[in-house]
Amino acid sequence: MEEAFVNTPLGIAKLEGDSLGLSSISVLNTKERITQIIPELLEDAVYQLNEYFEGKRTDFDLTLNPSGTDFQQKVWKGLLEIPFGKTVSYLQLSKSLGDVKAVRAVAAANGKNPLWIIVPCHRVIGSDGLLTGYAGGLLRKKWLLEHESPVKQQSLF
């Protein structure tokens, strides 16, 4: 398993993967040493992630290999269907996966997503339109949604 630590506007991100694909991207709340030489297997992921933060990329073209249960894998595939700049509720996501009663299980699987940003769990909000739990913290979720918003907030001052 190769790993790299890269700087992002939201903190240090840790990327992990091997020849089967990218298995994990997480944002850390600790200071880690930035990787000076990115492992070849992770170069494309780092490049695409940088493009995302620069506003040059709206979707990713990477081989993914996250570890999870069949149900979690199903939910994560569902997350990949949420378009850039759009949000859905946990209930809408549950319905799209074919089981409206699985909303809590869908939310739990969403929270276990190991591929920060690439599998856009930040695009899932509460049915009331409010931001709800996010493993990276609500401030990061808010930042990501604003970053992806087609309507940029203007400053009044």
What does the pLDDT read at residue 152?
62
CA atoms of 140 and 101, how far apart (whole Å) = 29
- Residue 47 lies inside a defined structural domain of this protein: yes
Output the CA–CA distances (angstroms, integers) from residue 52 to 33, 40, 69, 84, 144, in the order listed: 22, 19, 28, 11, 10
- CATH code for the domain in which residue 92 is found: 1.10.10.10
- CATH code for the domain in which residue 47 is found: 3.30.160
User: Are 43 and 97 found together in one domain?
Assistant: no
pLDDT band (50, 70, 90) for residue 96: very high
User: Are 122 and 83 found together in one domain?
Assistant: yes
What does the pLDDT read at residue 154?
57
Whether the predicted pLDDT of 82 surpasses 60: yes
- Name every residue whose Cβ is closer than 8 Å to that of residue 69 and which is 6 or more positions away in sequence: 109
Q: Which domain holds residue 36?
A: 2-53
User: Are 31 and 101 found together in one domain?
Assistant: no
pLDDT band (50, 70, 90) for residue 155: low
- For residue 83, what are its two tokens? 């378009």
Choosing from 121, 125, 144, 145, the catalytic residue is 121
Q: What is the pLDDT averaged over residues 77-91?
A: 95
Cβ atoms within 10 Å, residue 42: 22
- Residue 141 lies inside a defined structural domain of this protein: yes
User: Are 75 and 49 found together in one domain?
Assistant: no
90 labelled catalytic? no
What does the pLDDT read at residue 157?
54
- Residue 110 lies inside a defined structural domain of this protein: yes
Q: What is the pLDDT averaged over residues 83-95?
A: 95
Tell me how many domains the chain contains: 2
- Residue 25 lies inside a defined structural domain of this protein: yes
pLDDT band (50, 70, 90) for residue 156: low
Q: What is the pLDDT averaged over residues 86-94?
A: 95
- For residue 26, what are its two tokens? 């997480």
CA atoms of 14 and 71, how far apart (whole Å) = 25
What does the pLDDT read at residue 55?
95
User: Are 25 and 85 found together in one domain?
Assistant: no
User: What is the phi/psi pair of residue 16, to 5°?
Assistant: -135, 140
